[in-house]
Amino acid sequence: MSVVCGLLPIGGGALCSKVSWLVVVIAILLGMAVIAVSGGTSTGVRPPVAVFVAIAAGCGPILASLIAPHDPRRAARIDLWIAPFTPFFTLLFQWEFGGCLKAGAVFFGAIVTPGFFWLLTSRRNWPQLLQSQSPRWSPSVVFRVSGFFCLLAALGAFSSLFVPWWSPIGDCFGRPLYTEQGVPQNIDFTAKIVFVGPATYHGRSLWSVARVEQSFSGVPSWAAHFVFLRGYFPSTDRLERYFIEGVRSTGAITRFLPVIEPVPCGRTARIGDAVVALRVMQDGPPRSGVRIVGRVFDGLTIRKPVPGVGVLVAGPSGERVLTTDQLGIFDVIGLPPGEYTVKIAGQNRHGVYAPHLEGGAAYDSVFYLN
């Protein structure tokens, strides 16, 4: 029994072990949290810096915690080598963790506190958590530590899917689906949701697994069948078909996974609500002139298409009134390049101003009568 634990009453050794195991578990969980945030999708730092933080402040504490039950002195060295960078990590990721105090609690709790704890226990000869008759770093011990380390690091990276993604605030109006060169601006495809993750954010899941059905642009060949979708998915979305407009994840770790992030003001929606975008992608860019297409709904909540509504399109060739079809869609092709304003005919509301559209551009917009 150690000097410190020997001074405790009967059962003190068990108490020391419980405290040590608690430090191990907390440091591992905080290290996984650091990997999820720094290597995930919500960070605003450069990828090389995020990778360094994920390795040093995420993988480092996990590795030290797995080594500590066998060799607390070595675990202390690993943590204390990383400790000088802790203030830098705290300042760099204070926004992602909800403030400087919370970020400091995470990084100091994962690195500094365990480091000094293992240093103290090794100097005071606390009992080793895992006793073994074999050599301390036998092949079996190395294999177990390495296996658990890889598993926990992978779980930390996967946990990045649970980090909330905040949508932009404001009116997005509209923007062309294609560039001036006739190339889709983002990754576009249809998919069927096969699995919805647990509801962890206001009753919705922040991710789902989908099977790609029809690819229009940008889907990597190695992710041509199944992808992780980021967004807001209710549990009822399982087996729903979606039109997806997104981008590859730019997270330090998730960029190596088939993760599709939503784009600001994107058109990701159920197939029934993405008829316009789906029509534009299936038809391809206009062969000549400009295409303006959109849809009119009764209200923002119900989103019931309204047929027979007049839509005024004003541009270089003058004004033109279109009438929505049975799906509430208005569509005109072959307009001359230039600046356009689109609005509901007969209403004094502000229209949707389209930027200067070159030939081959397809511009879509949505209106709500109420």
**Cβ-proximal residues to 152 (8 Å cutoff; 6+ apart), any chain:** 28, 31, 32, 62, 66
Mean pLDDT of the chain: 81
- Strands laid side by side in the 290-297 sheet: 329-335, 290-297, 362-368
1-43: pLDDT as tens digits: 344 454 444 445 677 788 888 999 999 999 999 998 887 755 5
Does this model's pTM top 0.75? My answer is no
Domain boundary among 162, 196, 228: 162
Would you place residue 113 in the very low, low, confident or very high pLDDT band (cuts 50, 70, 90)? very high
Kindly tell me if the per-residue pLDDT of 326 is higher than 80. yes
- 173 falls within a domain: no
**Is there a single domain that holds both residue 157 and residue 62?**
yes
Domain range for 72 is 3-162
Last residue of a domain, one of 272, 299, 332: 272
Chain segment 219-274, per-residue pLDDT in tens: 777 667 899 998 889 999 999 999 998 888 877 777 788 888 888 777 888 988 88
Spatial neighbors of 249 by CB under 8 A, at least 6 apart, are: 41, 230, 255, 257, 259, 260, 261
Is the per-residue pLDDT at 282 higher than 80?
yes
Of the residues 241, 272, 303, the one at which a domain ends: 272
Cα separation, 208 vs 193, whole angstroms? 7
Whether residues 243 and 342 fall in one domain = no
In sequence order, the 6+-apart residues with CB closer than 8 A to the CB of 32 are: 58, 62, 152, 153, 155, 156, 159
- Work out how many domains the chain is built from and give that number: 3
- Cα(69)–Cα(136) distance, integer angstroms: 10
Task: For 123-138, write each residue's pLDDT tens digit.
Answer: 877 767 766 544 566 7
- Say which DSSP state 169 is in: P
Q: Residue 201: which CATH number?
A: 2.40.50
Q: What is the pLDDT of residue 7?
A: 45
Same domain, 132 and 18: yes
Q: How far is residue 239 CA from its own chain's centroid?
A: 21
Check whether 95 has a pLDDT greater than 70.
yes
For residues 123 and 31, membership in a common domain is answered with yes
